[in-house]
Amino acid sequence: MSTITLTLVLAGLLLIAALAAYAWHLWRRVWAQQESQAAAEQERRQRLGGDLNILASSLLDEQLPLIEGAIRIKVLLDNYDSALSNDARCQVFHQLFEATADVPTHAAWKALDKPARRRFEKRFTELELQHKAAARTAARWLLDEGLASRPDRA
């Protein structure tokens, strides 16, 4: 083998080794990023699970208005676990959410005149009477079984 051929083969091998080392470096960064994302997702799910526990407990202890609690639980469930959110035992939260979707919030609520507020409050009372037992049953199920069956429960 000539010197030029040997030099070219060595240069090629060095280039391959350098590219392999760079590829290894990039893969390590990808794996580290995947681990970081998985840890962040686990932390997010634990936080949401804890928040759901607090809301369901507060709803059962009547420390939270039924309508507000149901809306908050529905939104958190959607973000926590869509399968759990779509479980038939949680449908009352969806029903209350949909039944109050047109209610103004925050500044728009404050801007309502008193008769309009009273109409909404009357509807809240009717919804509460109609769905209170089902919402309490769903909250109890969430605490006892729904969230307990999740491995990442906070």
Domain spans of the chain? 44-146
The whole-number pLDDT of residue 50 equals 95
Average pLDDT, the chain: 94
Q: Are 100 and 67 in contact (CB under 8 A)?
A: yes
12-19 long-range contacts (CB < 8 A, ≥24 apart) are: none
Reported as a single tens digit per residue, the pLDDT across 25-34 is 999 999 999 9
pTM of the model: 0.80
User: What is residue 81's DSSP assignment?
Assistant: -
Q: How far apart are CA 109 and CA 67, in angstroms?
A: 15
Q: Average pLDDT of 42-70?
A: 96
Question: Pick from 115, 111, 109, 77: which is nearest to 94 by CA?
Answer: 77
Reading the block at residue 134, the tokens are 């089902």
pLDDT at residue 95 above 50? yes
Q: How far apart are CA 75 and CA 70, in angstroms?
A: 9
pLDDT at residue 121 above 80? yes
The whole-number pLDDT of residue 154 equals 45
